[in-house]
Amino acid sequence: MAKGTISETAVYAIKNPSSIREIMSLVTDFKKHPEKYPRPLIYLGGGWPQDPPPPVLKEVAKEVVEDDNTWIESSRYGTTRGQPDFINGIVNYEKYVFNRKILEEEVIVGSGSTELTAAFMLSILDPGTEVIITRPGYLNYPRQVQIETLLRCKIKRWTILRNHEFNPDFDELQEMISDKTRMLIICTPGNPDGQIYTDDMLNAINDIAEEKGIWVMVDVAYRTFIYEKPPSYFSRERSENEIWLCTLSKEFRIPGWRMAYAVADKELISAVETVEQARILCPNKMAQEILTRVLQDNKKLKSVKEYYEKGRDKYKKVAQYTTEELRNNIPDLGILEPRGGFYVFFDASKYEKSSKKLCNDLLKECQVALAPGIDFGMEGWLRLSFAPIVEEPETLKEGLNRMKEYFSKRK
Ligand SMILES: Cc1ncc(COP(=O)(O)O)c(C=O)c1O
């Protein structure tokens, strides 16, 4: 009897598991068997916010469920590109909250931005073509390129951090683009680095992209967590080759709902829509129905805007506290000052060159979970996410104390 086989892509995925997903399994294990661990685990690994979604979302969710018509209607299949009313709501949301003008025909809704990124990759990349990803960059992009293209595309890394500073080199970018390059992916504010491209930087990228004819995916997952005055591109119209990737996971604190949208060239959107017909049929209709009631209603959006403002202040304070504590208490870390998002990214290579080993040791010895920099393309660095305990200052303090103890022993 012969058993079926698995693909080379699956073998690649097995050999390169997502470390965040692995840490997540550990959290689950900790919840099930706390007795196995000497102290409660302090989880500073993943990027999901602890604070609840805006209260208005629960109110409208109840309305949708209680009304028989909307309950039944939103349980059925929807349109592939997203419900027209939801798309109309997105246009209103962009205008009301971000002061951005976008067009309905440039929008596609997806089941989270991870899923949309995959659909764009399938619509843009051919075997033998290339993608440029920043170094550091969000850990899932390279894995997605590999998986979505069945390991047939080349990934080039563009260094955006130099000497512990955010300092992308545009000549380097220009030089690394070949006639096979199809897209560049950037993230602003960045994961894991918390850095924000300036207007001049994004203009320089767009100039290069337009000259060379490549798409620029701009992932703005953390745009409502900017600690300073945001650059003007967050409210300007889309430039020609930009694909704006907007997830509601972080801004609405609903990562489990899997809701995101992209804004891009109309023809590209049609291509992605056709690809999505085969991939997902349609995005979650119930979630769209609930969100539509918020996004089309400026009174409700006002409360969302206030929620974002409060959230930004809260995350900024925690980011500053975390950065200062690390800086004042643990010598010889190269800390990058976050300007947005929920991470503090730092170079710990003076203690240990292998970031995976350092993460394992921190877990074993002081039950603090961080994410290894190697997965973001930066060996020797660590990413601390304060999002999962943003509402628990005492837990964060305890975590930072444990780290201090650990590093002082290693000295
Ligand atoms: C930069 C970035 N993009 C995308 C995602 C995934 O977002 P989604 O929940 O929309 O798939 C994450 C999740 O952490 C992220 O950090």
pLDDT at 247: 98
CA of 128 to the centre of ligand 1 (A): 26
CB 341, CB 347: distance < 8 Å: no
Cα(387)–Cα(384) distance, rounded to whole angstroms?
Answer: 9
Quote the mean pLDDT of the chain: 95
- Is 142 close to ligand 1, i.e. is its CB under 6 Å away? no
pLDDT band of 30, cuts 50, 70, 90: confident
Ligand 1 pocket test target in 19, 191, 196 with most atoms within 8 Å of CB: 191
For a mutational test of ligand 1's pocket, the pick from 23, 140, 252, i.e. the residue with the most ligand atoms closer than 8 A to its C-beta, is 140
pLDDT for the residue 19: 75
Which of 14-18, 43-47, 149-153, 323-327 comes out lowest in average pLDDT?
14-18
pLDDT band at 29, cuts 50/70/90?
confident
What domains appear along the chain, each with residue ranges and CATH number?
Answer: 8-52+305-410 (3.90.1150.10), 55-302 (3.40.640.10)
pLDDT in tens, 263-293: 999 999 999 999 999 999 999 999 999 999 9
> How many whole angstroms separate alpha carbon 49 and alpha carbon 248?
12
Question: Is 297 exposed, middle or buried (CB count within 10 Å of its CB: 0-12, 13-18, 19+)?
Answer: middle
Q: Which atom of ligand 1 is nearest to the CA of 112?
A: 10
> Would the pLDDT of 131 be above 90?
yes
Lowest mean pLDDT among 9-23, 186-200, 214-228, 396-410: 9-23
Say how far residue 154 (Cα) sits from the centre of its chain. 22
Count of helices and strands (H, E) across the chain: 15, 15
Q: How confident is the model at residue 221 (pLDDT cuts 50, 70, 90)?
A: very high
Q: Which of 24, 195, 247, 252 to mutate to test the pocket of ligand 1 (most atoms within 8 A of CB)?
A: 247
Q: Indicate whether 27 pLDDT > 80.
A: no
Of 369, 81, 399, 109, nearest in space to 257 by CA:
109
Cα 341 to ligand 1 centroid, rounded to whole Å: 12
In the predicted model, is pLDDT for residue 302 greater than 90? Answer: yes
Q: In angstroms, rounded to a whole number, what is the distance separating the alpha carbons of residues 258 and 113?
A: 8
Position 243 pLDDT exceeds 90: yes
Ligand 1 near 188 CB (within 6 A): no
187 lines ligand 1 (CB under 6 A): yes
Q: How confident is the model at residue 46 (pLDDT cuts 50, 70, 90)?
A: confident
Counting from 1 in the atom list of ligand 1, the atom nearest the Cα of 113 is 10
Q: What is the pLDDT of residue 142?
A: 96
When pLDDT is averaged across residues 199-220 and rounded to a whole number, the result is 98
Q: 249 CA distance to ligand 1 centroid (A)?
A: 7
At 1 the pLDDT is 85
How much is the average pLDDT of 309-326?
98
Position 76 pLDDT exceeds 80: yes
CA of 140 to the centre of ligand 1 (A): 8
Instruction: State how far the alpha carbon of 229 is from the alpha carbons of 45, 193, 301, 339, 349, in Å.
Output: 28, 18, 21, 10, 32
Average pLDDT over every residue of 180-202: 98
Q: At a CB cut-off of 8 Å and minimum separation 6, what does 188 contact?
A: 195, 196, 197, 202, 218, 219, 220, 222, 223
d(CA 392, CA 337): 22
User: Is residue 33 very low, low, confident or very high in pLDDT (cuts 50, 70, 90)?
Assistant: confident
Task: Give the model's confidence band at 17: pLDDT under 50 very low, under 70 low, under 90 confident, else very high.
Answer: confident
pLDDT at 31: 76
Residue 240 pLDDT > 90: yes
pLDDT in tens, 81-95: 999 999 999 999 999
Distance 113 CA to ligand 1 centre (A): 6
Least confident of 30-34, 40-44, 197-201, 374-378: 30-34
- Report the 3 state secondary structure along 51-79: CCCCHHHHHHHHHHHHCHHHHHHCCCCCC
- pLDDT confidence of residue 364: 86
Calculate mean pLDDT across residues 216-242.
97
Residues whose CB is less than 8 angstroms from the CB of residue 206 and which lie 6 or more positions away in sequence, other chains included: 216, 239, 240, 241, 242
Question: Is the per-residue pLDDT at 345 higher than 90?
Answer: yes
Pairing assessment for the beta strands 107-110 and 371-372 based on DSSP bridges:
unpaired
Confidence band, pLDDT 50/70/90 cuts, at residue 398:
very high
User: By percentage, how much of the chain surpasses pLDDT 70?
Assistant: 100
Residues 6+ away with beta carbon under 8 Å from 324 = none
112 Cβ inside 6 Å of ligand 1: yes
185 lines ligand 1 (CB under 6 A): no
In this structure, the residue with its CA closest to atom 16 of ligand 1 is: 191
What is the tens place of the pLDDT at every residue in 365-380? Answer: 999 999 999 999 999 9
pLDDT score, position 306: 98
Tell me, in angstroms, the distance from the centre of ligand 1 to residue 334's CA.
Answer: 25
